[in-house]
Each structure stands twice: as C-alpha cells, then as structure tokens.
Structure 1
Amino acid sequence: MSNQIPRPEYPRPQMVRSEWLNLNGWWDFEVDQGDSGLERGLVEAPLTRSILVPFAPESQASGIGETDFLQAVWYRREIAVPEHWAGQRVLLHFGAVDHDTTVWVGGTEVVRHRGGFSPFTADITDTLTDGRGTITVRARDLREEVQARGKQATWYSNTHCQYTRTTGIWQTVWAEPVPPVHLKRPRITPDVGGECFRIEAPVSANRAGYRLRATLSANGIEITTAQVRADLDLAPALQLTIPAESVRLWSPTDPHLYDLHIELLDETDQVMDAVESYAGLRSVSIDGQHLLLNGKPVFQRLVLDQGYWPQTLMTAPSDEALVRDIELGIAAGFNGARIHQKVAEERYLYHAARLGYLLWGEFGDWGVSGQGTRGHNQQPTASFTTQWLEVLERDYNQPAIIGWCPLNETHQVIHDRITVLDDITRGMFLATKAADTTRPVIDASGYSHRVAETDVYDSHSYEQDPTAFAAEQAGLAHGHPQRNKPADGEFSLPYAGQPFFVSEYGGIWWNAELAAAHASGEQRDASWGYGQRVATEEEFHQRFTGLTAVLLNNPHMFGYCYTQLTDTFQEQNGIYHFDRTQKLNTTRIRTAQQQPAAYEQQ
C-alpha cells in the first residue's frame, strides 16, 4: 500500500486557513450488507478490510471495487492532531458522504447527516484525549430508501444514462483548528453598479471589543480595507468599495479574481482568526428575454459534464483532472458547463472561476417523479431541500456560477392532483431565491416548469435532424418555444416571455469501434446514445454543426448546452472518450461554435 495521500490539496479554496490536517489515505473498512453493524458492535469492533479515502468502494481506485448494492459501509482511522493545536477547537470536515452518515469519535456520536452531495462538519474537541481519538463512520445507502441519487443506477447494472453507484466517503476528509470564537463561511456579494463587494462574515459567538476586518488586493497589492464591530451581530457585515482605477469585471474573456483576506480581531487588535478567499466582480441580470452578464449579452455555449471518471467515479482522480475537464471544454469551443446531476467539488468551482468558465449550479435528483422507486431514480423528500440549502450556502460566493437549477426533468402532469413534487419544486425554488437574490433560478430544467415566476424557461430536445430541429425551435420568435410534453397532457405552466435556452441537445451517438463492427455485420450493442447513431465521424460533424447552427442563429435564445463532454460508461455520446483522450476533431467542433450568435448581435 502506498503512503502517499490522495487528493492532498486544500479542499475549500474560498475559505482557506493556514493550519489543517488531511485525513485522506488508507482507512479500515467493512461492507455491512445486512445493515446490522450497529447491533454487531462495529462502532468499536475491528474492521476487516482497508480502503483508500476519498474514493468510493465501488471504484477501482479505492482498492475495493465492489459495484453491487452496498447497504451500509463502515470506516475507521485514528486521528492525532498537532500539539500546537492545544487550546483550540478541532473541527472535522467531510466534503461529501453518500448517503445517511453517522460519525463517532471515541465511541461518542458527534454528527449525523443525510445527503450524498453536501458537506458537513463536527466539533470533535471534547471527544479527543490528549489530541488523539478514533474516528468511526457508518454510511447507509439502502437500495429501496428514498433519496436524491443523481445519475447513480437504481438497477444492478449500468443502463442507458445511469452509472455506477457511489456509496460512502467520496470527497476529502480533513480537520482544522479554530479558536473558541471563530469565523464561519463568509458571504461575498459582488455589486458591479456600486463598484464594491459586500461581505457578511458570520462568527461562532460574540465577544466585547471584537472587530471584523477585510482587505481586498490584486497581484499582491492592497486595494482597499474596511472594518466593523463584531460584538453586536452574529453576522457582522461590511462593504469594500473599489477605487475606480482598480475596478475590473470578471468574465469568460477576463476572469479576474481579487484576493480577499478576512480577520477577526480582539479588543487589543490581536488576530484571533483569519481566512483567505477570492472574489469576482460580476453581475447577472434579466432584461426581457435577455440574460445579461455585466449588463451585456454573452451567449452561453455550455456543455453537459457528468463529472465521472473510469477509475474514481464521481471523485476526480486529482486536482489536475478537474482542471483538465475545463480545459477540454474550452478547447472544444465551449465557454461553460452544466455539471450535471451532481454537486461539483469546491476546487472545480475555483478552477472554473480562475479560467473564466460559466457554470449553472445543479443538484443530483434526475428522474424525480413521485411515482415510486422502481423505474424512477428517486422521489422528493424533505432532504432534497435541506441538502440544496447546504449546497447554496457552500457555493454562494462562486463567481463562475451564474444561475441555479435545483431540479431536472421532473414528470408532473399539469392536470394531475397536486403532489409532494409540486411542494418540493416550489419549496426548492423559494429556498433558492431566499438564499440568493443575485442569480436567476430555473424551477426545473426541461420538463415540468411548475413555478409561474421562474426566472428562466428552458427545454430539452434530442431531435437529431437539423431541419426538424429548426422547425421545432422556430416558435420562440412568436412567444411559443418548444416545450417538453407527455403524449397525453401538459407538463408546464405557460411560457411568460422569460429568457430561454435549450439546456440539453445533441447527445450524438458515436463510437468508432462499434460503428466498424456494425458495418461488418457484427452486432455489438454495448453502448447507448440518443437517436439514430451516426455511421461516420464526418456524419457526426455535419449533424453537430447543423444542430448547433439552429441555436446560434436564434436571436431569442441566450445559449445552449450540448450533451456531452465525455463518454460516460455505456453512454457513448461524448466529445471526448471517457478517459479524456481524443475522440473527435475538436478543431471542427470549436469552429462550428465560433459562428457569431444572433443573440449577441442585437
């Protein structure tokens, strides 16, 4: 076994402390297929196997590689914090664990969390003895339990566009020391019109004489600083006004980031806590059908990114792999992505910000319908909303995120009785608007637009014929966009003139090896894609160019999202192979997208 720690980089770039302890690496492990481990004493009893955290046990990289349904799994490792952490509180952080997680330290339960996509934290100070303790984690992922799964397969095998499941820890585990009174995650709101940032920095408690100080800089040069009392409010706030000569807007063509240093000072000016962060000055606004970035129309050439890797599943194998996916998208002519049906790692969002890659924040709930677990991925529950609120809190500050999409492809017929899905749809929309007033929100991408005041209206279309696709999209000019409908009714409330885009299209099915096999008469159907597969790469490019031109030439549409960046397991419709190697002539794909968008020419 290697002693090298996987994913060694700091996992939370928007709130960096200088002291931390990476707990990735080899942990004791056991599969608890009967979910009886609690009764059998696994909180303290020895575990029989080992796993490489943060990779899920279904992945090859974990050292386990078991892809059957895993009802529950257990983890254990020792923690020893540095001696100089004495006198501080020790926080234990989990980036993401799927799905129902309980954590014990020294046999004492310290936290329980439901949800496979959002982070959680426990203060473990009082469970440590001389800075040492034993961490035990149980993650339950019951096959029949209602939960948000995203694209994780609900049948035994991968099928269509459902992929290998993820159970247990799949993002970095780490610890850090904080003073008894410390900073919590700040909220950074850019104000382009006011040429400033508004900073709200919650504190764990108030102390007489404490103050909050924030300093903005760029390229190592201080631009401005401000401070405010921190003894009267649990969320002290201040404003950093940027001198005119230092104003620089963040955009895909100039992804400028300011450095932000936030300090908590005591009554003697001693720094009690400090974090490093970053911020981008940009705005998102709506003017009729126009969705504007910094007051200007910027056509969104997005690509659907499933965020899976062959050996590591939903966890990126390395920080470089996160960067690589963005670079591959840009190389193919895209200026952003939908990280589809999962919540991206925080470091991906950081790299998107510094590289100027537009993102729509999404949640992993594909297939939610309220009609039962068999044949559907999941059902709506209260945990959808609680997880989503945790995601919004985590990602509010990210400049690359320009919109939110809490739900995807819901199936609620408009004439049917009101169900819990209606409540969840409206609840998640309202929660998003309450948590973030600065970004537009799509109530549900594609099918069921159930909230009349949704900021953005969209549709999904996998029509493969460019001529038929053009006819399908022509109605937008007359206020009647293409809408996803069931055969016997209507999914959505009427379109009300909102900004509109086709947020999924293409999905062109192409696999050169399988095409050759079919051409020779051999039947090999180990792949899946949308519509009739193309016979040659040339046919792929002609279809891609034709479909994309329809959307680029529509002046009433602010963007599109092509399915998809890479092949993913059996879904063979990527621009690149699953291992990120070259599959198609990306120069031709980029050239097809370089035609000026009619939306930007108005």
Structure 2
Amino acid sequence: MDVNINEICLYFSAKRLSIKVFLAVFSAFYGVFVRRNRTKSACKGKEVFEMYFRNEYPRPQLRRDDWVALNGKWQFCFDKEITDKTAVTSGQTELSQTINVPFSYQYAASGIGVTDYYAGMWYKRNFTLGKAQTSRSALLCFNAVDYECSVWLNGVYVGGHKGGFTPFTLDVTAQMQEQNTLVVYCRDTMDDTVARGKQSWRDNGKPFGCWYTPNSGIWQSVWIEFFDGDYVDYVGFKPDPATGNVETELDTGLGVATEVQIDVTFGGKRVGGGKFMLDGVHNKFTFEACDAEFANSHLWDVAEPNMFDVDVTLFAQGKAVDVTHTYFGFRTVAVDEHGAVLLNGKPLYQRLILDQGYFAEGGLTAESEEMFKRDIELSIAMGYNGARKHQKLEDPYFYYYADRMGYLVWCEMPSAYRFESDEQLNLASEWQHIVRTVVNNPSVICFVPLNESWGVEQIVNDKAQQRFASAMYYLTKALDGTRLVSTNDGWEYVDDTDIVGIHDYSFSGDGFAEKYRRDALDDIVPAGRRLFANGHKYHGQPVLFSEFGGIAMQRDATASEDWGYNSKAQNDDEFYTRYANLMTNLHKMWFSGFCYTQLTDVQQEINGLLDQHHNPKFDIATIRKLTTG
C-alpha cells in the first residue's frame, strides 16, 4: 500500500474536516506501525524476532539480485564470559544468549535491552547456502558496526573494520561452504576521540543532556551476496545536466574485469550508456546518459524527483561476472552572487527539520525500513521539504526514500569530542567514507563536517583547530564539489564555508530581525558564541537558521531529566502560539531557510513534533500552515 500523507493532509484541510477524522484515517493506513511500536515490556522472547525482522535488501543504492539475508537470530555473549577465544573464533563454542541482529543489545528490539556498558561482545550465526551459490564468489556485507570488529568464517579470519557509521564488505569466497559458521567480535569504546555522534560517553554511556544511550556492535543489516570472478566495489556518478553526460568513478574488487557495460533507463526505457574498457581496480570514464535537452527536462527536484536507473555489468574475458543496479539524478546545487542557494538554477528556500534518527525500540536502528518513508511523508505533510540528518550516517533506505520522494537532506559527520591527533585521524578517515557512501543520492545537497565546535572546542581562538576545520572543508570539496558545505554548523565558523548556519534557541523570535541583520553577522553571538572564529568573517554566504525551537510539552515529561529548550508548553494552544511566533518572524527575514528542532522525541529530549514512536503529537494541518507561512 503506497499512501501519501501529504495528499491526505491537504484533502482533509481543504474539506475542513476535523483532525480526529484525519487521525482515524491515518491510523487505518498505518496500523502496521502501531503494532510494531509497542513498549519494551510488551515485546519479549520469540515475539522480538517476529516483530523486528529486517528482511529487505539492505543497500538499495547498489543492488545485486542473488543474496541471502543474515539478519535475525544470532548467538551472542559479552566478552567477559569468554575464556578461550580460539574456541569461539573456530565456531566450537556456543554463546550464552540470543540477539536479534541488526539491533544493538542496549535496545528492546534486540531481545536483550540491557543498557550496561560492555566493551566487547561476540556474535555467532550458522547459515546454509545452496550448491549454486557455493559455486560462485561471495561478499559478506555489513552496513554498520560500532565501533570496530573482527570477522571469522568457518574458523578463518576474513577481515575487520574500524568506524561505527560506515559500511564495509569482505570477500569470503575462499572460506564459503554449504554449511557455514560466522563469528563476529565487536569492540565498542567510550573514547571521545572517535566519531560518536549523539551516543553518550560519560558514566559508561549513561544518557545526559542531548546525548543518549549508545548503540554497540552490529546495528545495521548483515547479508551475503554473490558474483563471478570480479565485482563492483564502488561506483560514483557526477551527472552534468548541461551535457547529459555522467563522469564516473568505478572500482572493481579484484581488478580482473576488462570491460563494463552501462545501461541507463528512464521510466523503463533505455536512454543511454555505453561499454568501456577497464584497467585494473581504479577506473574513470564518462558516459552519455541522454542528451542535454532530455536531462534538463527530467531534473531531480523537490516537486519532481526524476531518477535515472543504471545497470552496471562487469565483463572478464567476454563473460559477464557481476551485475549491479543503481541510480542517479540530474540536478545542480549552487550559490548565486546575492547569497541565495540555487537548486537547478532556481532559488531554494529550505524548510528543514532536525532528524536525529532515533527509534524507541531500536535506538539508532529503525524497527522497519518503512519507517523512513513514513517519517518523510509526515515531515512533508507538516510543511517541511527536507531534513538535517543530525550526527549520523543514516540507514541507506532513508536516502533511498528521500531520493524518490524529493526530500532534501543535509549529511552530517558524527562528532568526536576531544581535539588531538587521534581525533583528526579518526574523523578525516570516516568522513571520507561517509561522503563516498552518499555520492549518488541526489537528495543530499549539503555536508556538515563539524557541528557547534564539538571536538574543536577552542576553535574561536585556536589556529590549529581553525586549520582543521578548513581542512575538513577542502577535503569534502575535493571528494565532492557538487554539494555545499556548512563547515562548523551553528557558530564559530572559519572563512571556508559555503553556508552559514545559526543555532539560536530563543523563546521568542521577535528580536531576530534586528539581531541578525546581514551587516551585523561578524559581531553577533548566538548562544553566547561568536558566529565567526577570531580572524574570520562573513563573506556573503547563504545564511540559514539551522537550529531553533525545541519546544517541549509538559504532558510529555515523565521524569525529572525530561527536557526541551526554555520552559515547557502547558497545552497545545501555548505550543502553537510559540511555534507560530518563531515561524512568523523567520518567514519575514532574509535567510535562505531554517531547520526546526526537532522531528521526534529522543529519550530524555522531549521536544519533537512526533513522539518517540514517530507518531504525531499535534494537528498536522495546523503545523503545516505555520511552517509554510
């Protein structure tokens, strides 16, 4: 069932029907989500594995047809229980617990739900493959493991990974059998020099302020997929609508393939492509996807998110050895001489919502990939045209639905919190992987390598930290010059930034116009912090109010630590009055847009427009009217 909440909302608003009727229809369409969003106490034992089974193909941006899901029930234990690690890695040891992968042990959907901190944890999974599959080559794929891991298949070490937010694959062809035992050791850390995002590192992960219970170990999907002889390891597109051409970077896993066939289709009809010679692992070439006229009449846009599908076929010695399916969109993002953001050459006013990507039962892991579509539909229904995905590289399905639904995205680096050489190495390394991961998603229009000086706390005066911020800007632009960069979103910017984002959680917006005059930006101090670091100044970039609001409701506070910004609203009328005041004042200003805090309640931070189960807390039509002005 494919339902557009935006259209439903507009229909009910036009007909002047009550919100109660709207919510009744909403519940009928989305009862499946209500059933999935039960409380922790209502979902135990076998029910967890039935309710929270992520069985969709995990990587819609680069798909293979022949694959096997490895999500679901695994054996599990904490490292403190293990005395003979060799016996575990060989697959001889049975582990003491079961866990529902890909959910972290701290959250209810895992079937464990223990929030105590454990540095090490073990996973084990037995699985069977058919003879046709074992006759092929195989890749073992992980979408995310926090923070680092080592992997054994049938007693043989096959590789590992470091970095809690980025995907990786391992070639396990030599170890694969019909009957297989997979063992994964994960080590999480409270180290504040690694990319943590919103995961608490204090008091062994105890939530505080706007930081939450961590997600340790495997927290995104695991699967195995098959190829013959060589495989596409990475493909990155840079489409140019001025010509209809697509500059392409393609890495093969083994360097064996000698040719690649590109087939581009639009609406099921082939419109372009070509065949190209390959030379080793790393390759670059340009293909014609269509002519310039067709490209410019089929741009990716918020109102019309046109997508071009691509089949990539590798050949070795004239034989097809790997077929993958991907996509791209033609669009441009730029800034004009007046400091306005342009999408496809037209001014773009961004109405963004801060989306931290937390879920009641899964933490950083959504209980269902359908929840991303629902979140986007609800956001659009409330008048927003995009999200600042905050402190997280999200599940690939979020970007997939954003691409397909015309929903703008800011992609942000999860922060570390202590400036030293280890932090610089960790952030620069993982950030490069993040940028490459979303390169083909046209919905992503802006990168945020640093937020609110987290991890660079002395940047206002410290030249080394200022140079690091500039380095992150230029590193990002070197990797992908087609998108904008907000270098240190919130305050204490360096000169090197494409966008200036201001964070101001004032109770009222009545003073915004006077405070944030264009000619006063060098001197303002939002939240008591200078907008620009010493020695740096405003150069006419687009300005967005990229965090504000955060209004909590008194009725949602169930514990003393539950909070929002400023005082809690006592009822809906007070909330609407405050929300309207902020929005009305922002709509009058010269800014290029805004980002309201926030989409959902997250644990102790109860200032969402949706609750922690991602259900609406307010009248959607009223919110939409105020958001859009």
Does residue 242 of structure 2 align to residue 196 of structure 1? no
Report SS of the residue matched to 2:489: coil
Which residue number in structure 1 is paired with residue 189 of structure 2? 142
Does residue 440 of structure 2 align to residue 397 of structure 1? yes
Could you tell me whether the CA contact under 8 Å between 1:336 and 1:357 is conserved in 2?
Answer: yes
Post-superposition Cα deviations, 1:71-90, rounded to whole Å, max 9, x if no partner, equal: 11110112333311244321
Does residue 265 of structure 2 align to residue 223 of structure 1? no
Q: How big is the shift at 1:490?
A: 6.7
Which residue number in structure 2 is paired with residue 14 of structure 1? 61
Amino acid at match of 1:362: E
Which residue number in structure 2 is paired with residue 334 of structure 1? 384
Could you tell me whether the CA contact under 8 Å between 2:492 and 2:531 is conserved in 1?
Answer: no
Does residue 117 of structure 2 align to residue 75 of structure 1? no
Structure 1 range deviating more: 220-229 or 455-464: 220-229
Which residue number in structure 2 is paired with residue 546 of structure 1? 581
Q: How big is the shift at 1:485?
A: 6.6
Distance in 2 between residues matched to 1:490 and 1:260, nearest whole Å: 43
Cα 1:237/1:47, change in 2 over 3 Å = same
Q: How big is the shift at 1:207?
A: 5.1
Amino acid at match of 2:570: A
Post-superposition Cα deviations, 1:5-63, rounded to whole Å, max 9, x if no partner, equal: 811111111111111111001111001258x7676854343311110100110010111
Cα 1:323/1:107, change in 2 over 3 Å = same
Q: How big is the shift at 1:423?
A: 5.3
Structure 1 range deviating more: 84-93 or 36-45: 36-45
Q: How big is the shift at 1:445?
A: 1.1
Distance in 2 between residues matched to 1:488 and 1:482, nearest whole Å: 6
Alignment map for 1:16-55 (pairs within 5 Å): 16-33=63-80, 42-44=88-90, 45-55=93-103
Distance in 2 between residues matched to 1:465 and 1:404, nearest whole Å: 29
Alignment map for 1:436-455 (pairs within 5 Å): 436-450=480-494, 452-455=495-498
Cα 1:407/1:248, change in 2 over 3 Å = same
Amino acid at match of 2:582: L
Q: How big is the shift at 1:309?
A: 0.9
Could you tell me whether the CA contact under 8 Å between 1:369 and 1:379 is conserved in 2?
Answer: no
Could you tell me whether the CA contact under 8 Å between 2:460 and 2:492 is conserved in 1?
Answer: no
Could you tell me whether the CA contact under 8 Å between 2:75 and 2:96 is conserved in 1?
Answer: yes
Could you tell me whether the CA contact under 8 Å between 1:476 and 1:482 is conserved in 2?
Answer: no
Post-superposition Cα deviations, 1:464-488, rounded to whole Å, max 9, x if no partner, equal: 1121333322x22555474547579
Amino acid at match of 1:161: C
Could you tell me whether the CA contact under 8 Å between 1:103 and 1:111 is conserved in 2?
Answer: yes
Alignment map for 1:106-125 (pairs within 5 Å): 106-125=154-173
Which residue number in structure 2 is paired with residue 529 of structure 1? 564
Cα 1:424/1:180, change in 2 over 3 Å = farther
Could you tell me whether the CA contact under 8 Å between 2:532 and 2:538 is conserved in 1?
Answer: no
Could you tell me whether the CA contact under 8 Å between 1:463 and 1:469 is conserved in 2?
Answer: no
Structure 2 regions of 5+ residues with no counterpart?
A: 1-45
Q: How big is the shift at 1:554?
A: 1.7
Which residue number in structure 1 is paired with residue 136 of structure 2? 88
Could you tell me whether the CA contact under 8 Å between 1:414 and 1:490 is conserved in 2?
Answer: no
Please, which of 105, 109, 112 is the counterpart of residue 64 of structure 1? 112
Q: How big is the shift at 1:361?
A: 0.7
Which residue number in structure 1 is paired with residue 511 of structure 2? 468
Distance in 1 between residues matched to 2:542 and 2:505, nearest whole Å: 20
Amino acid at match of 2:548: Y
RMSD of equivalent CA atoms: 2.5
Structure 1 range deviating more: 177-186 or 93-102: 177-186
Distance in 1 between residues matched to 2:379 and 2:281, nearest whole Å: 44
Report SS of the residue matched to 2:157: strand
Does residue 597 of structure 2 align to residue 569 of structure 1? no
Structure 1 range deviating more: 458-467 or 181-190: 181-190
Could you tell me whether the CA contact under 8 Å between 1:205 and 1:234 is conserved in 2?
Answer: no
Does residue 545 of structure 2 align to residue 496 of structure 1? no
Amino acid at match of 1:330: I
Q: How big is the shift at 1:95?
A: 0.5
Q: How big is the shift at 1:320?
A: 1.1
Please, which of 296, 316, 319 is the counterpart of residue 366 of structure 2? 316
Q: How big is the shift at 1:418?
A: 4.0
Distance in 2 between residues matched to 1:490 and 1:441, nearest whole Å: 16
Which residue number in structure 2 is paired with residue 413 of structure 1? 458
Distance in 2 between residues matched to 1:580 and 1:568, nearest whole Å: 10
Could you tell me whether the CA contact under 8 Å between 1:333 and 1:593 is conserved in 2?
Answer: yes
Distance in 1 between residues matched to 2:477 and 2:530, nearest whole Å: 32
Cα 1:485/1:74, change in 2 over 3 Å = same
Could you tell me whether the CA contact under 8 Å between 2:491 and 2:531 is conserved in 1?
Answer: no
Please, which of 443, 454, 457 is the counterpart of residue 500 of structure 2? 457
Paired positions, count: 572
Could you tell me whether the CA contact under 8 Å between 1:212 and 1:236 is conserved in 2?
Answer: no
Could you tell me whether the CA contact under 8 Å between 2:502 and 2:545 is conserved in 1?
Answer: yes
Report SS of the residue matched to 1:185: strand
Q: How big is the shift at 1:231?
A: 4.0
Post-superposition Cα deviations, 1:188-213, rounded to whole Å, max 9, x if no partner, equal: 112122233333322234558x3222
Alignment map for 1:224-303 (pairs within 5 Å): 224-231=272-279, 234-243=282-291, 244-245=293-294, 247-268=297-318, 270-288=319-337, 289-303=339-353
Amino acid at match of 1:120: F
Amino acid at match of 1:505: F
Post-superposition Cα deviations, 1:480-504, rounded to whole Å, max 9, x if no partner, equal: 4745475799746211211111111
Amino acid at match of 2:481: T
Cα 1:42/1:211, change in 2 over 3 Å = closer
Does residue 147 of structure 2 align to residue 102 of structure 1? no
Post-superposition Cα deviations, 1:499-534, rounded to whole Å, max 9, x if no partner, equal: 1111111111223355xx9xxxxxx63411111222
Which residue number in structure 1 is paired with residue 20 of structure 2? none
Post-superposition Cα deviations, 1:91-138, rounded to whole Å, max 9, x if no partner, equal: 11111011121112233222222211111111112223x344321111
Could you tell me whether the CA contact under 8 Å between 2:69 and 2:224 is conserved in 1?
Answer: yes
Cα 1:501/1:369, change in 2 over 3 Å = farther
Amino acid at match of 2:326: S
Alignment map for 1:167-178 (pairs within 5 Å): 167-178=216-227
Cα 1:224/1:65, change in 2 over 3 Å = same
Distance in 2 between residues matched to 1:466 and 1:313, nearest whole Å: 33
Q: How big is the shift at 1:455?
A: 1.5
Distance in 2 between residues matched to 1:18 and 1:487, nearest whole Å: 52
Could you tell me whether the CA contact under 8 Å between 1:284 and 1:292 is conserved in 2?
Answer: yes
Which residue number in structure 2 is paired with residue 521 of structure 1? none
Could you tell me whether the CA contact under 8 Å between 1:26 and 1:51 is conserved in 2?
Answer: yes
Could you tell me whether the CA contact under 8 Å between 1:227 and 1:238 is conserved in 2?
Answer: no
Distance in 2 between residues matched to 1:27 and 1:423, nearest whole Å: 45
Does residue 198 of structure 2 align to residue 163 of structure 1? no
Amino acid at match of 2:402: A
Amino acid at match of 2:518: L
Please, which of 398, 402, 411 is the counterpart of residue 361 of structure 1? 411
Which residue number in structure 2 is paired with residue 599 of structure 1? none
Could you tell me whether the CA contact under 8 Å between 1:481 and 1:495 is conserved in 2?
Answer: no
Report SS of the residue matched to 2:282: coil
Amino acid at match of 1:591: K
Structure 1 regions of 5+ residues with no counterpart?
A: 372-377, 518-523, 596-602
Cα 1:430/1:503, change in 2 over 3 Å = same
Amino acid at match of 1:413: Q
Which residue number in structure 1 is paired with residue 625 of structure 2? 591
Could you tell me whether the CA contact under 8 Å between 1:192 and 1:294 is conserved in 2?
Answer: no
Could you tell me whether the CA contact under 8 Å between 1:485 and 1:491 is conserved in 2?
Answer: no
Report SS of the residue matched to 2:484: coil
Report SS of the residue matched to 1:385: helix
Could you tell me whether the CA contact under 8 Å between 2:353 and 2:379 is conserved in 1?
Answer: yes
Distance in 1 between residues matched to 2:70 and 2:103, nearest whole Å: 13
Cα 1:43/1:281, change in 2 over 3 Å = same
Report SS of the residue matched to 2:274: strand
Percent identity for Structure 1 against Structure 2 = 32
After TM superposition, the score normalised by the length of structure 2 is: 0.85
Which residue number in structure 2 is paired with residue 375 of structure 1? none
Report SS of the residue matched to 1:198: strand
Distance in 2 between residues matched to 1:87 and 1:228, nearest whole Å: 28
Could you tell me whether the CA contact under 8 Å between 2:151 and 2:157 is conserved in 1?
Answer: yes
